[in-house]
Amino acid sequence: MPPHLLAIDQGTTGSTALVLGLDGRTLGRATSELPQHFPKPGWVSHDPREVWSSVGASVSGALHAAGIEGRDVAAVGITNQRETTVVWDRKTRAPIDLAIVWQCRRTADVCDEIKRDAHVVARVREKTGLVIDAYFSATKIGWLLDHVPGARARASAGELAFGTIDSFLVSELTSGAVHAIDVTNASRTLLMNLARCEWDPELLTTFDVPAGILPTIVSSAGIVGRTRGAGFLPDGIPIAGIAGDQQAALFGQACFDEGDAKCTYGTGAFALMNIGDRPLLSDHGLVTTAAWRIGDRTTYALEGSAFVAGAAVQWLRDGLGIIQRASDIEALARSVPSSEGVAFVPALAGLGAPHWDQAARGTITGLTRGTHAAHIARATLEGIAFEVRDLLDAMAKDAGRPIGRLRVDGGAAANDLLMQFQADVADVTVERPTDVESTGRGAAMLAGIGAGLFDLAGVRRAYGVASRFAPSMDSAERAAHLARWDDALRRTRSGP
């Protein structure tokens, strides 16, 4: 049987596994849901054991769906929810506590205290390309070390290991033999020097993180270890590709040229633009991140993250009961011709880029006695599109040129109403690929390159566009929509 690629896509609400042929076709897919835990308001956690269990279930399901066995897998690629922080015992591999998820705001006060020193703020941004925010991993590590009894002493003694989810999965897949993090995930910790792709001693001091707890930084494509004792996979399969979910999606969308941009509509919305081999710092509220590293060449990206996108639809379903299934929102929103002036800013976990307001809260404006569930549903989709429009506008300003094309993926990218409104309010052509599983595809393609099975040209050939949405809204109508959005944003912000 010809070799296959296995992609493990470990996300915020579930784990998905894909089996792909070397031609890039998806042959099998399975998803296993992952529960989130909310110990306190604003806190979001995962149980790492449940993460591992969901990965095993999804991999087994994908192999079965593809009609192959584990021995038919030539290489494994991993992509993951970024910033989510796990600390575990090096010997037993047992986590010392629940993982702190990227959405969690428990360290917001710590970040605010650090930001009182303008010099520190400037140095962190200069070295990492990031802003100091609870979103990133550094303060999450500190919280675990300071709140789990004895953890900081154990870390200093070399007994504990930190990792983002990719690191945790690599450790589990190799029975603890490998403690590594790829450069894209490392670039999201606030601890890596972006230009050198190395842990930075000054940053470790700033965030009080002991160096001995950190994994080795590796490239995004290349064999970092081989499976051993995983249970659902045979021993000896190379783990050859790793990237954080948004960088994997950028790669999977074949955004290999400077200026190429994509947006993933998942739990949050994440827009990235390829900026080449220099880590340009944003002047408009974005962050700079490693896009991938192949061989000795690092490609960088500008990124803007809206913390809540698909999660707003889930809130309509689970919190308000307006819809029974997330997929119901498009039909409900289409049942009215407009939102009738209703605007929803889905700042349910604060505002991310380009606003960076940790204390902002979700806001619905323009309600009247005539407002129905359909208007709120439509305003929710529009709010997601407005968030992404703000990100793209900041990117265009940083790049000094408009974005003419946006490649999209993620679950909500299947929503035609959202995609058309996105094209209209951002004045950009939206392209939806033939396979919207760009995140898993990117991980698989990196694994194929890392295992020496093909090159970038092969990835580009495997990419295809299924649908295009051209902007059709006139400038006056667009301006009116944006004015309504700006007013709602002003009401949402925590400060002046």
DSSP per position, 130-174: ----TTSSHHHHHHHHHHSTTHHHHHHTT-EEEE-HHHHHHHHHT
**Domain-embedded: residue 294:** no
Q: Give the number of other CB atoms < 10 A from CB of residue 468.
A: 12
The band of 462, judged by pLDDT with boundaries at 50, 70 and 90, is confident
- CATH number for the domain spanning 35: value is 3.30.420.40
The string of DSSP letters for 203-262 reads HHHHTT--GGGPPEEE-SEEEEEE--S-SSS-TT-EEEEEEEHHHHHHHHTT--STT-EE
Bridge partner list, 109: none
Bridge partner list, 4: 21, 73
Rounded Cα–Cα distance for residues 127 and 132 (Å): 12
* Model pLDDT for residues 299-356, shown as the tens digit of each residue: 999 999 888 898 899 999 999 999 999 999 999 999 999 999 999 999 988 888 898 8
**Domain-embedded: residue 85:** yes
Cα separations in angstroms, 351 against 103, 133, 337: 11, 11, 28
Largest CA-CA distance found in the chain, in angstroms, rounded: 64
**Domain-embedded: residue 443:** no
* Model pLDDT for residues 164-211, shown as the tens digit of each residue: 999 999 999 999 999 999 999 999 999 999 999 999 999 999 999 999
* Model pLDDT for residues 254-286, shown as the tens digit of each residue: 999 888 999 999 888 999 999 999 998 999 999
**Domain-embedded: residue 441:** no
**Domain-embedded: residue 48:** yes
Is the pLDDT at 11 greater than 70, yes or no? yes
**Domain-embedded: residue 333:** no
**Which amino acid, one-letter code, is at 104?**
C
Is the pLDDT at 495 greater than 70, yes or no? no
Provide mean pLDDT across the span 480-495: 89
Backbone torsion region of residue 410, taken as left when φ is above 0, otherwise alpha when ψ lies between -120 and 50, otherwise beta? left
Q: pTM for the complete prediction?
A: 0.87
Residue 364: alpha-carbon gap to chain centroid: 26
Q: Which residue range is the domain that position 229 belongs to?
A: 4-246
**Domain-embedded: residue 42:** yes
* Confidence at residue 459, expressed as pLDDT on a 0 to 100 scale: 81
**Domain-embedded: residue 347:** no
Q: How many domains does the chain have?
A: 1
